[in-house]
Amino acid sequence: MWFKNLSVFRLTEAFTLTPEELEKKLDPLSFRPCGLHEESTFGWAFPLGKAGQQLVHNANGFIMLCGKKEERVLPAAVLNEMVQEKIFEKEEQQARKLSKKERTEIKDEVIFDLLPKAFTFSRKIYAYIDTKGGWLLVDAASAKNAEDLLSLLRKSLGSLPAVPLNTIEKPTSIMTQWLLNDKTPDDITVEDECELRSPEELGGIIRCKRHDLALPEIKNHLNTGKEVIKLAVSWADRISFIIDENLVIKRLRFLDLIQDQVTDIETNDDATQFDVDFSIMSAELANFLPRLLELFGGENKA
């Protein structure tokens, strides 16, 4: 089970619950499918999927969780057409324009009637707690998805002292200097993708893909004041990723040095393979996160 994105949160207090204690706290909010008139549900699912029987998967002090969300799909075009038809009919009958409140009530009635007939789709959000390092890592590229999972966890636990990753130096400043000076730390390699933005409000944005970022045209943009807000890099030939101005990591890939460790271990079933993947991935990220902080001046604990 390999994460493709990382939204990283610092636990400001030690996480002391055992996996068994955590399981009991998650159980009341276990996932259930949408009811006939529910637009969505969100709850805890088995990280191991159909092969699992527990809401918590523990490996060497790393605790994997999985939130599952199911939503009913109401195409906007269909909904709007039916609402407009209902409004038109009522206005014709009453020979007057309906108020905003009446229009809203009609829309609510249409949604209520359509929901039981709507298709559903589901998605999972994985996360794990590093109890030794004091991290919560969510496999989510968007802030909303990460916050959805944190909200569910806080609801289960009552509270969760966790804050987004914060560094002393601004990531935009450090990444801009890397490109401007053609110089990076020895274990960081700049790849072929970046995003530049002018610092003023509503400033212009330039996106470069499959591009040599050492070319003069990139420096010209930087010399006019643009800043790097996204940058594709690799670390120590072990992982590659895109990092943004908020230290969110996207398109995370574990390179051959890591994948070779996986292939060296023989497994007989999906559950064992999941455990191997999770153990190797979590150990690798536990080594990487302190280095990530160092790259941007250390952790800002203020």
The domain containing residue 178 runs over which residues?
Answer: 171-295
Model confidence over 228-278: pLDDT tens digits? 999 999 999 999 999 999 999 999 999 999 999 999 998 888 889 999 999
Whether 248 is covered by a domain: the verdict is yes
What is each CA distance from 18 to 14, 24, 75, 277, in whole angstroms? 12, 10, 44, 22
Res. 60: pLDDT tops 90: no
Cα torsion 232, 248, 258, 281 to 10°: value is -170
What is each CA distance from 121 to 5, 39, 70, 144, 150, in whole angstroms? 21, 11, 6, 18, 21
Are both 106 and 129 inside the same structural domain? no
Per-residue model confidence (pLDDT) at position 175: 98
Whether 258 is covered by a domain: the verdict is yes
* Percent of the chain residues past pLDDT 70, beyond the cut: 100
Are both 94 and 83 inside the same structural domain? yes
In which element (H, E) is residue 8 found?
A: strand 7-11
Domain final position from 139, 164, 189? 164
Whether 237 is covered by a domain: the verdict is yes
Are both 178 and 288 inside the same structural domain? yes
Q: Which token pair is 289?
A: 């996160």
Are both 222 and 204 inside the same structural domain? yes
Whether 14 is covered by a domain: the verdict is yes
Whether 227 is covered by a domain: the verdict is yes
Domain total in the chain = 3
- Greater confidence, 123 or 75? 123
Domain final position from 97, 129, 164? 164
Are both 228 and 288 inside the same structural domain? yes
Confidence label for 2 from pLDDT (cuts 50, 70 and 90): very high
Per-residue model confidence (pLDDT) at position 145: 96
Per-residue model confidence (pLDDT) at position 35: 93
Question: Which of 293, 291, 288, 287 shows the shortest CA–CA distance to 167?
Answer: 293
Per-residue model confidence (pLDDT) at position 191: 97
Are both 285 and 156 inside the same structural domain? no
Are both 59 and 13 inside the same structural domain? yes
Are both 62 and 128 inside the same structural domain? yes
- Mention every residue, 6+ apart, whose C-beta is less than 8 A from residue 189: 233, 234, 235, 237
Res. 50: pLDDT tops 90: no
Are both 22 and 154 inside the same structural domain? yes
Whether 229 is covered by a domain: the verdict is yes
Are both 156 and 11 inside the same structural domain? yes
Please list the alpha-helical segments (H only) found in 158-269: 171-181, 216-223, 256-263
User: Distance between CA atoms of 195 and 186, rounded to whole angstroms?
Assistant: 22
Are both 55 and 132 inside the same structural domain? yes
Res. 52: pLDDT tops 80: yes
Are both 159 and 212 inside the same structural domain? no
The mean pLDDT of 24-52, rounded to a whole number, is: 94
Per-residue model confidence (pLDDT) at position 283: 96
Question: Which of 59, 68, 100, 60 shows the shortest CA–CA distance to 83?
Answer: 100
Whether 289 is covered by a domain: the verdict is yes
Whether 43 is covered by a domain: the verdict is yes
SS3 state of residue 19: helix
Res. 203: pLDDT tops 90: no
Model confidence over 158-199: pLDDT tens digits? 999 999 999 999 999 999 999 999 999 999 999 999 999 998
Per-residue model confidence (pLDDT) at position 208: 94
Model confidence over 114-140: pLDDT tens digits? 889 899 999 999 999 999 999 999 999
DSSP codes, 209-235: ES--TTSHHHHHHHHTT-EEEEEEEEE
Per-residue model confidence (pLDDT) at position 227: 96
